Structure formats: structure tokens, C-alpha cells
Amino acid sequence: MFTGIITDIGHIRAVEQRGDMRARIGTGYDTRTIAMGASIACDGACLTVVALGPDWFDVDISAETLSKTNLGAWAEGRRVNLERSLRVGDELGGHIVSGHIDGLAEVVAMVPEGDSTRITLRAPEGLARFIAPKGSVALNGTSLTVNDVAGTAFGINLIPHTMQVTTWGEVAVGDRINLEIDTLARYVARLAEAG
């Protein structure tokens, strides 16, 4: 489990196509504190560490993950949001995030709003019903509050701090963003269907 609070920006050092895709990610984390098999959210996708070096870790990315995420576009030099998994007693600053990407949202508009940036995204039709004003979503691993919803479109505001400490400062209109809907919204909708 994760919180959607990004704690490092990694750099893709290498991508290798095998049966699955393997990526080497450079990190500022102390890799001596990362166990083999540990889960790290990489742009929101929960991935398993399969190799470690002094300032890097490797992950394998399955065809299923590639089909649901933007990780297939990873190339050497790309920056990615990173978050290590929660430990008992950690502060829960965002919201509960599983690291299981539901689909891709497309950035359709970016407009300055005061010092912040207002971003409008379009969710896939099947996921839009889970997104509610003042609810939470994880986008490229970042826990964000939904400001408004209109059909499949929804808006978020990013403060300058978020733009600086995540990869959101590099996002542009047309980009496809990893979307994880709020777990609570998923279960509430499922209960409503059953009722």
C-alpha cells in the first residue's frame, strides 16, 4: 500500500524488452534499505524490485501492466515519480493507494490559476463514474483532490510545490497519465450495484 505522496524522482537508466520489459531506475533512495522483492510505486504502478545496485533498482513489467499503464513509453532519461510502500506507523498524508492502475487519463487542458496550474483530464468511460468532486485520485502515483467533474472530464489543481517535487512540471496536453481510482469509491459503487 502507498499514500500517493511522492518521495523521490527516479530516472530511467535502461529499458530492455524480454518476455517482460525490464527497467533500471536510478534513485536517491538508500538502496541498502530496499529488500529484494520490495514493492515500489513507479509512476503509480506497484512494481517489484528484482535487482539492486548502489543507486539503482531493476523492475520487471508484465504485458498486463503495460496494457493498462503508460510504462510502455518509458525510455532512457525519463523521470518517474517514486514512492516506497507504507510501513506501520508511517504518516498517511495522501490517501490509500494500491499501486494497481485502472487505466489511462488524457490531459486535455492546462491553465494557470493564480500560482497553481489547473489541469483537466479525460477519464476512460468505464472509470469516470468512480470520480467525484472533492474525492481522491492517484495520477502518475500522486494523490490529488478532484475539483470538478463534467461527464468523463475532471479537473485538479496543482500547487507549485507539487509541480516541483514530482514529474508534473513536465506534463503537457495530450499526455496519457496513469489513473488509479479511489479504493473506497470502487467498493461503494460495487455495493450500490449489489443492492
Of 28, 25, 24, residue with least CA distance to 7: 28
**Residue 1 maps to a domain:** no
Q: Do 13 and 78 fall into the same domain?
A: yes
User: How many other C-beta atoms lie within 10 A of the C-beta of residue 2?
Assistant: 27
Strands across the sheet containing 142-145: 142-145, 136-139, 176-181, 103-113, 116-122, 153-158, 148-150
Number of structural domains found in the chain: 2
Mean pLDDT of the chain: 94
**Residue 91 maps to a domain:** no
Bigger pLDDT: 109 or 194?
A: 109
pLDDT digits (tens, 9 = 90+) for 61-119: 999 999 999 999 999 999 999 999 987 777 777 788 999 999 999 999 999 999 999 99
**Which one of 56, 84, 112 terminates a domain?**
84
The upper half-sphere exposure of residue 49, i.e. CA atoms within 13 Å in the direction of its Cβ, equals 24
Whether residue 165 has pLDDT greater than 80 = yes
Whether residue 195 has pLDDT greater than 70 = no
Q: Do 27 and 71 fall into the same domain?
A: yes
Task: Note down the domain range covering 41.
Answer: 8-84
Residue with grid cell 529499458, as numbered in its chain? 15
Q: Do 22 and 69 fall into the same domain?
A: yes
The pLDDT of residue 185 is 73
Q: Do 126 and 47 fall into the same domain?
A: no
Q: Do 80 and 112 fall into the same domain?
A: no
Angle ∠(117,122,126) on CA atoms, nearest 5: 145
